[in-house]
Structure 1
């Protein structure tokens, strides 16, 4: 765990849970696994506050507990904290795939850590009624909840307020039989049994990560070739996962006949059906280096017209290469990016060979080589050679330690996201007075409109703020939107690099 990863985790905990929970999380991050007694000593907080903080962290899967002879040890899962940066991406994914009602349900489960299906449906009903002033039908909401379980976006967990989520449990997506007549009573605040007592649900983050991973692979093919190739890759991924574990490095082969049937059945593009073979060959050729073992799609066997296998490990290796090359291009220019690509593809290469392959002035090649060497993007190895007369000469070979470069760049990502979150908080704090005033005015205007007030009254409320104050609110909102958008982009880069490390 790195310095800026710890700072970012601390910032996220403070933003979502407050200072006390942040202090407990910081202690577990800095000192590793601890029991309750040492946590009280290290944090210098009252026992009751430490217990409540641990309950909150356990409920959201951020802390795991394990019983040992000396007592119960608590361990922080920093990955679960970083995962909170991706909540907006997951919510948008559910909205796109299953609809607005399912989006609200996912938000409610994310807010609570885990929750009963009946409570999630009631809260969704209330929020939709407040937003649209129309009551959605409870059977429809139950179907939306079942759709979330069918797509494996949420899963059952054995949990209680005291114990929290049980780690390592086997995924269970079976729905209990819900009693529909109980929901109107629960919505009115009356006592009723919905038939799901003790059955809690939590978000299946593994499913979301796999879908995000697959979408990145599809986008890569889209950008490199065209949308038809991306659609073919999507259909091939669907077929591959029917016969392969979700996190396999290389997916099991799929016969060409099945690929054609899948494309014909599910693709909305009749043109793709005619050119499946050609697109498979183009994808394999465009995403390969020097030999066939480095293709993201490989043909294996000749039965059923040939079988095709996707190499997810190689796909993320190439995505990481492209990401690192683009970063170097932004920092050092296009020539440095070309030099990095040459060293990446040709490890342990001499500087004279680099100069000849780059086709630039030797002085520029040397300058850029040592600039990248200084920033640790490339590494140098000295090879000593002894001649017959006992004279020694040295050869300097350049190579890329890709794993170390990826880890270094991930630390830069943590630093950038942390800095932007701090800047966003600063902007909100400094301009709190004018933004609060603007929000109060909006609430008053909405209440007046709801009560049927005239335009004159509403205009009087608008005049409570000056033009300068309106411009200030607009400037602050624009800055915060820009910072939030940049965070999402950097988080995507962080995700690509973390996926590379997961497969390597």
Structure 2
């Protein structure tokens, strides 16, 4: 297990759930699957505390359990990948807001906050939150429609329920049947409306629990990465062509397959004709496909002639190219352009001797050696010694050294560095907040009071009197704190994007 990942997971759990849940999650990370008595032995927590912590983690999909060998007790395991997803919650919400609007954004945010929740509870919570907000006029029907839209698009899925075969078992097995998963929830609009209007006698019967489908959101993140990369490599029409290829891929291929099934040119051309704002794409479709095939390192390959053949999209290879670009930029930023030149040379030659590096990199011998050893020290390249037996048995054997790149090792090293950097960023951000907690709380209280006063329509003079309770020196200090926290948050977002690319690489490598 990675020490850096363990520290990051522990810090995320502490930030979102508190100290007790963090102890349980960290214990499961260190020791793997464990039963409740074993967790109690190593954490010194009571069984009641452990059970509450496990319930919370199961509700948010961070823990799964299976029957132990004797079948009497359950063994719990932590899902590290889902814990890291907590860092991407703002990006999930922004994605849904951009595609479906503010109401769908509020639906997804409510589900993320609750972990797993019924549609009726989602509607009630959103209506109660926006009851006094005149800027947000929402209805039960519109929220219901947004829930259905997110379910249909696959962003929300049914939470697993105990299997009927294990009803009498001491440890139930959670599952989601395919047939049941496709059934849309039945929402009683009339009962919800009466409940919202203050009729406490109404009892809402809704036993279908739903949660966020992270795979579907990650699929969109991956597609946006590829579209953006193709737009930068070619132009906007090239990016749109990649988007159309992805849409056609999903009609005949599993979304996470490393290589798509063949996509007919005729279907691709028909889809491009429907893109009205990019007429050049249809006009020069053959040329765009040829450029994409030749200049983009074979992400798209063809079979047959351009006007009647088929095209294959290599998703795994595209992610690998993104990882290579990520490594290039990292080497350049950390060690400079000359070191990046040597790194590219080693990648191009696959195996190369030190003398050949000096000749082909067009650098002085001393500087070339220093940069090569620096790359070796930073684990961006590796060296392999090959011994050549002397022609005469009396002399010592000679050896020559070949430098090469092991991308799996480099990607894993970078992923560990990202874990450590994220841990440091989150720690620094929490330190800034705790150090200035009283000032931030004061500003939040003033903002809340001012907001309520504006909703009530009170005079502006009264509002200014409340705002002036925050002194000018405090305002300057708050601006500095806010700027620092904002910079740390932006850096965290960029690191999460880097982590996502590296994680995608290892996902495709495992297929």
TM-score range, shorter chain: over 0.9
SS in structure 2 opposite 1:465? coil
Equivalent-residue separation in structure 2 for 1:448 and 1:182 (angstroms): 33
Give the drift of 1:267: 5.1
Cα offsets for 1:158-207 (capped at 9, x unmatched): 348x9999367648242133232122023235354666x22111111111
Give the drift of 1:451: 3.8
Structure 1 partner of 2:356: 353
User: Is 2:4 the counterpart of 1:4?
Assistant: yes
Residue correspondence of structure 1 range 25-174 to structure 2 within 5 A:
25-70=25-70, 71-132=73-134, 135-159=137-161, 166=174, 170=178, 172-174=181-183
Structure 2 partner of 1:384: 387
Equivalent-residue separation in structure 2 for 1:97 and 1:163 (angstroms): 41
Structure 1 partner of 2:500: 495
Do the aligned residues in 1 keep the contact of 2:67 with 2:171 (CA within 8 Å)?
no
CA change 1:341–1:267 in 2 (3 A) is farther
SS in structure 2 opposite 1:251? coil
Residue correspondence of structure 1 range 25-424 to structure 2 within 5 A:
25-70=25-70, 71-132=73-134, 135-159=137-161, 166=174, 170=178, 172-187=181-196, 188=198, 190-192=200-202, 197-266=206-275, 268-288=277-297, 295-302=298-305, 305-390=308-393, 391=395, 392-424=397-429
Equivalent-residue separation in structure 1 for 2:384 and 2:495 (angstroms): 32
Equivalent-residue separation in structure 1 for 2:359 and 2:492 (angstroms): 40
Equivalent-residue separation in structure 1 for 2:382 and 2:483 (angstroms): 42
CA change 1:462–1:121 in 2 (3 A) is closer
SS in structure 2 opposite 1:131? coil
Cα offsets for 1:110-141 (capped at 9, x unmatched): 11111111111222223333433554222222
Structure 2 partner of 1:428: 433
CA change 1:126–1:296 in 2 (3 A) is same
Give the drift of 1:465: 2.5
Stretches of structure 2 lacking an aligned partner (at least 5 in a row): 163-169
* TM-score normalised by length of structure 2: 0.93
Equivalent-residue separation in structure 2 for 1:342 and 1:189 (angstroms): 74
Which residue of the other structure, out of 438, 442, 448, is the alignment partner of 1:437? Answer: 442
CA change 1:271–1:57 in 2 (3 A) is same
Equivalent-residue separation in structure 2 for 1:285 and 1:32 (angstroms): 47
Give the drift of 1:280: 0.8
CA change 1:125–1:86 in 2 (3 A) is same
Equivalent-residue separation in structure 1 for 2:176 and 2:502 (angstroms): 25
Tell me how large the CA RMSD over aligned residues is: 2.0
Equivalent-residue separation in structure 1 for 2:57 and 2:175 (angstroms): 13
Size of the aligned set, in residue pairs, is 496
Equivalent-residue separation in structure 1 for 2:93 and 2:440 (angstroms): 27
Stretches of structure 1 lacking an aligned partner (at least 5 in a row): 289-294
